[in-house]
Homo-oligomer: A and B are copies of this chain.
Amino acid sequence: MATFPEKGRTEKEILKEINEAKKLDLDFSSGKILGSMCTEPSHIGKKVHQMFLESNLGNPGLYQGTKNIERKVHEAVGSLIGGEYDEVLSVGGATEGNIIALWRARNVSGKRKVLLPESAHFSFQKACNLLDMESVYIPLDDEYRVDVSAIKDEIDGDTAAVVGIAGTTELGQIDPIDEIAELCDDIFFHVDAAFGGFVIPFLKELGYQESCYNFEFKNIDTYVLDPHKMGMSTIPLGLMFSKEGSPLSIESPYLTGKDQKTIRGTRASASIPAFWATLNYLGKEGYREIVKVCMNNTRYLIEKMGDIGFKPIIDPVMNIASFHLEGPKRIVEGMAKEGFNISRTVNPPGLRFVIMPHVSKTSIDEMIKVLGE
């Protein structure tokens, strides 16, 4: 049992212990993390993050410089998404964004039923439990997109919100956002683009598929995407766009801002200037190139997995590839013992890979070699 020491230890001794511990953490640069939606942040993002460790936009009056950068981040990402919106919040990630979206839907509508694709991230389960809302899961079609006619059948006078996913966690599939939006004239419609938000805008010019939604589509109320995933920036940062100003805000009289609209009080905000540096360093051209390499590597993985007998669950829509396998847990655990992080799907059961920018053809080859054995 560790105890709180009576007297301080030396810096040297402490750093020795810390360095030993650090060796047990996996490192993106090893190429052995093939199951995470995060990646090595840009070098400039890391450098800038370190400059702003104390910055806390929970108390914005103290951090006017960070606040100014936040505004620019919101505007720049807004211009990437396209269409009109009324408000942007910096959140800790899509989990917080998803919770805030349903929170608004419940408070504004006074209703509690949420229609969720079966492919929705587990954070919606967390949100519904927290908010005391009822989740109704909508089945998926053969391509694992939510079944729009089933949503239509399920909408009734108790429905507070409908959720669509632009880049599902398990398969990277995109729900038919435009068709769902058509059904949501009087119902709150939230789009979770945590992963897809920084992939989809760049797919079109690569010949993969049309950018399938933005705020030009009517009826989208809130839209969340994570710079700390394919935005190539540091954790924790999600951005939540919304069509109408928040009906929710809690007064914070003793702080320099008059109220708070996020769940978090203290908001570690170094990730905001880090992302501003990252997006300016890469530009659309840089992101497009990253998406291109990731998509090529995803196709490479599918080819190599085919060689050892694995069949993809769907043709990849973005840089996530999952493969049919009953009882994947055993293999995931076996690979972990060999130092590889891969992941699994539940619906349908399978092995899941996220081909992030830190995953090269070489790291795929090394993983395939061990997996084959």
Contacts and interface: CB of A to CB of B under 8 A. Distances in A.
A9 B50 CA distance: 20
Interface in A335-369: 336, 341, 343-346, 352
A114 interface: no
B263 A3 contact: no
A123 B266 CA distance: 11
A333 to B, nearest CB: 10
Nearest to A47: B15
Interface string A35-79: 110101100101111111111100101111110110111011101
Contacts of A146: none
Most buried by B among A2, A6, A66, A279: A2
A248 interface: yes
A131 B6 CA distance: 41
A5 B65 contact: no
Contacts of A23: 65
A40 B21 contact: no
A336 B61 CA distance: 9
A268 interface: yes
B344 A282 contact: no
Interface residues of A, number: 114
Contacts of A99: 130, 263
Given A61-B341, A251-B122, A263-B263, A54 B4 contact: no
Contacts of A189: none
Interface in A90-141: 92-96, 99, 103, 106-107, 122-123, 125-126, 129-132
Contacts of A251: 122, 125
A213 B237 CA distance: 37
A246 interface: no
Contacts of A47: 15
B77 A54 contact: no
Contacts of A93: 264-266
A276 interface: yes
A236 interface: yes
A2 B76 contact: yes
Nearest to A48: B18
A65 B131 contact: no
A352 B253 CA distance: 11
A54 B28 contact: yes
A25 interface: yes
Which 3 interchain pairs have the tightest Cβ spacing?
A24-B65, A95-B265, A21-B65
Given A2-B71, A41-B54, 4 more contacts: A6-B284, A8-B282, A14-B281, A92-B268
16 contacts: A14-B44, A15-B48, A18-B51, A24-B64, A50-B50, A50-B53, A53-B234, A54-B235, A95-B263, A95-B265, A103-B129, A107-B129, A130-B263, A236-B264, A236-B268, A254-B344
